[in-house]
Structures are given as C-alpha cells and as structure tokens.
Structure 1
Amino acid sequence: MSTHTDADLLALAARLADEAAEIIRTIRARGFETLTKTDSSPVTEADHAAEAHILKGLRTAVPDIPVIAEEEVASGLPGAVSEAYWLVDPLDGTREFAAGRDDFTVNIGLVRNGRAVLGAMALPAYHQLYTGGVGLPAQRRDRNGTSLIHTRVPPAEGLSVLASRHYADDPRLAAYLGERRVASVGNIGSAVKFARVAEGVVDFYPRLGPTMEWDTAAPQAIVEAAGGHVTLLDGSPLLYGKPGWKNPPFVCTGQI
C-alpha cells in the first residue's frame, strides 16, 4: 500500500477538495443545467467536473488506493471493498446547489478496515475547508486563516439540533427526539450539518433517512477528530463497506 503518511494523505485530500470547490464556484457563477439520474436524484456539470478533478488527483498521487466516487458508481462502475479506499462525493447537496442555496459540500474521506480515518470537506459557498482524522487535529480554514475546532458540551437550555431539509416534515424526527431537552431545531441540506457539530455550533444531527457512504466518510472523520461521535441509533459504530454503499440511520453528536 501507499507509503504516504496519513498527514500526507489528508493534505492531498484537502488540496483536492479546495480545488474542486473553486471549480464548483466557477460553474455556479456562469450557470449550469440540472439533469436527473436514473435514481431520480439531480446531477449537474459541477458534480461531474469536480469528481473528474478529484479522481485524477487521487489516482495520480496514490494509484494503489482505490477510489469509490458517487458519479462513477452512478455510471455503472460500482467498485469493490478493499483494506483501504477513498470515498468521494464531489458535490454533496446537489439539490441545494441547483436551488441556489449555499449548503453543499465536497467530501473526500479515507476508509481503512471499515472505519473512516481521515477526511477533508469543503463548503464552497462559505469558502470554508474542514479537515481531521485519527491522530490528526480537526481544523477549519476560512478567509480568516486556520483554527482548531472541537465539539461542545450542550448548554443548560438544551440541545441545538440540525436535521435534513429534505426530511424536514418527517414525523420520525419528533418521535426520536422524544424526552430530550431541545432548545432549537433547524433544517439544512448536505454534510454542512456535520461541520456545524464539529465546530461546536450545534449539538445533535439525527439522520433517519437514507444516505450513502460517500456522504458521511469525510465528515465522520472530522467530527470524531473534533471530539464528537457518529454512531448507529443503537450506539454501535457507523462502519463502511456495506452492500451498495448504503448507510442505515445514524446520529452525529457533540459531547453528549
């Protein structure tokens, strides 16, 4: 396998996520067409251009680490589970992007032995880049520079919750929150929710609807590096290499 250190691999993922974010911003500024894939989900030129750039960069720099990427899988190249592999979502939150909203991300995560071990996540519209991993610090880089981030202990008034915009009216959410002391509930799209937990802005992100592994690998590594947790509803770890790359329901938490 690659002789690169995890710090080297994280730096590579961070650079490519940042470059893909610039590609996405450029396409957004000049306009684009939104198409529909066979699974009825949207896709744009930005998805394909960002993914092509990331794949070229990863496969050139570390050709011995396979890459599983959303649009390649959608095109019929499903890939296979191995000891270590990249999971790439070149534009998580295409619905948000196509609607002109700002909550979309670029996710590049590395899985090793079924666990998300490092990740880089760019938020193009916010000019933010989040990174972190096992044994590596959780950081945010923005126009003000780079800073360490960490999850927070919930305030006395209760949990600040973020949930999916797409499932905002899902009755399962209220049932799941149940007896917990909740101060606020917001709804936004994409993996941005993980970033807000990782940096201590909110405390709790329950995901009761479907997601794919490339949606979660990078942000999970970042949240866990920041002191948070991403688990299944029964508290067991969210692992990788599942059939069809599909995740069950999970919860992302800070220090609770």
Structure 2
Amino acid sequence: MATSTNNLIQSVCDIARQAGEDILVIYQRDFAVQTKADESPLTEADLAAHKRIVAGLKALTPDIPILSEEDANISWQERQQWQKFWLVDPLDGTKEFIKKNGEFTVNIALIENNQPVLGVVFAPVLDKMYFADDEGAFLTSSAGTRKLNVVTPAAGEVIKVVGSRSHPSPDLAEYLTRFEQHEMVPVGSSLKFCMVAEGLAHTYPRLGPTMNWDTGAGHCVAEKAGAKVRQLDGSPLRYNHQESLLNPYFEVV
C-alpha cells in the first residue's frame, strides 16, 4: 500500500485500515447516537475505532504518548512536556457517518515540536488511503498508489473552494470576496485537506471551530503535497502549544 520506505507509515496505514474496517461493520447496521457535553454526536463506531488505534499505536511505539478525541482529558501540565506524540481523531465526520454519505475519515498524525511530520487519513467507504511524511504525500485507492501535488489555478480560472458540508460559516462569505470567480465544493471531514492535496480544489478556508485532532493528519497530507496550512495572519498552524486544543481560523492554499 504505502510506497514510502518508512516502515512506520506503513504500520500506521495498517492501523487506520483496521479501524476503518471496525467502523464499516457498525456503519452497515443500525447504531445508537449519543450526545457529548459539547453537543457533538458520538457513536459506538467512534469508540471502537479509538480502541483499535490506541492499541495499535501502543504496540507500535510504546514510548510515544497518544492524544485522541475520545480520550482528550490529559492535563496541560503533562502535555506541555511532550516533544512528540500521536494525535488521533478515530472518526472525523461523525455527522457524515450518521447521514451515511460516506464522507468520514480515520485520522492519525505524528506531531513533533508542534508540527505534523506524518499523517494518515483513511476514508473507509471510499477506500482511499492518504498518507504523508518527508517523502511526500500519496494516495492509495483502487487505481493504485500515486504521489499527490497541489494545483495552482491559472489566471482567470474559477477558484474551487472546498468547505464544510455540516458546519457552514457566516465568515466565509466575506473571505470569498477576494476571488473574482469561485465555486464551492462541499465535503465532510478531513477530506477537505485531501481535496486540496489531490488537486481537486484550490483552497480550503476554515472560518469556524476545529480541534487539534480534526486537522493534524489532513494538515500533514496537504502540506507534504505542496500546500501552505496557515493561520489567517500567515503564521503556521501549531499543535499542543497551549492549554486549549481549539484551533484558530486557518486556510489551506
């Protein structure tokens, strides 16, 4: 699957695929939906994928700590000691999962010195495995494995802007005024990063709330494909650099 000579990323891709298979078993039958304290939905698929990934990563790299959306109550006092850690969203796009539109992903990133250095995004229904490290960004699908590169729009070309399907933002309209012509491409989950990496969209502005685990893996895939992932003031998007795990607004260009 992974053409990278890095055995670590091959192993992480395998873990993500196993978690995706666990998710699909639940996806194909009826399932209960709970509501978390922050009003976001939670299903047994989130928890099954979390358990699979944590067990896999602990076996793979016992000394590297793990921060997962489903186990995020780790104190800042402990987290600020971390130079390197795994950042996991076991099921990104739970709303897409519940709607059964297929646009949800398994996300695993390795963060080092506040930046993602390895990222894996697996879309189980689409059977697309995006992965990235120092060798670049790649996509494995039924068509095989290929390297990903962002596409720069030609002069006068309609700018394809990928945005959230489930979380529309009132600030987006103002952002879009910078483009003479644009076309919105609505997509769920971290697939938005992957759309830019794959050259299917030119930009992804996120002008709404996201958490560190929502973005780490997709950030790595887009960046290694040649995109810039930055805050609106141009500074880099950073991870685990403060007590809050809420991301600022950012753009992928």
TM-score when normalising by structure 1: 0.91
Q: Distance in 2 between matches of 1:194 and 1:10?
A: 19
Query: C-alpha offsets along residues 14-51 of structure 1, whole Å, 9 cap, x if unaligned?
Result: 11111111111111112211111111110001100001
Count of aligned pairs between the two proteins: 245
Bigger share in helix: 1
Q: Distance in 2 between matches of 1:158 and 1:181?
A: 8
RMSD: 1.6
Aligned to 2:114: 114
User: Does 2:238 correspond to 1:239?
Assistant: yes
Aligned to 1:207: 206
Q: Secondary structure at the match of 2:71?
A: helix
Superposed, which structure 2 residues align to 1:1-256 within 5 Å? Answer: 7-73=6-72, 76-77=73-74, 80-81=79-80, 82-133=82-133, 135-155=134-154, 156-168=156-168, 170-241=169-240, 242-253=242-253
Query: C-alpha offsets along residues 176-208 of structure 1, whole Å, 9 cap, x if unaligned?
Result: 122223330122221111111000000011001
TM superposition shift of 1:77: 4.3
Q: Distance in 2 between matches of 1:171 and 1:126?
A: 30
Query: C-alpha offsets along residues 141-165 of structure 1, whole Å, 9 cap, x if unaligned?
Result: 1112111111101143221001112
Amino acid in the other structure paired with 1:185: M
Query: C-alpha offsets along residues 93-126 of structure 1, whole Å, 9 cap, x if unaligned?
Result: 0011011121111100010011111100001110
Structure 2 unmatched ranges of 5 or more:
none
Q: Secondary structure at the match of 1:247?
A: coil
Q: Distance in 2 between matches of 1:220 and 1:179?
A: 23
Calculate percent identity across the aligned residue pairs. Answer: 40
Structure 1 unmatched ranges of 5 or more:
none
Q: Distance in 2 between matches of 1:115 and 1:35?
A: 32
8 A Cα contact 2:22 2:48, kept in partner = yes
Q: Secondary structure at the match of 1:163?
A: strand
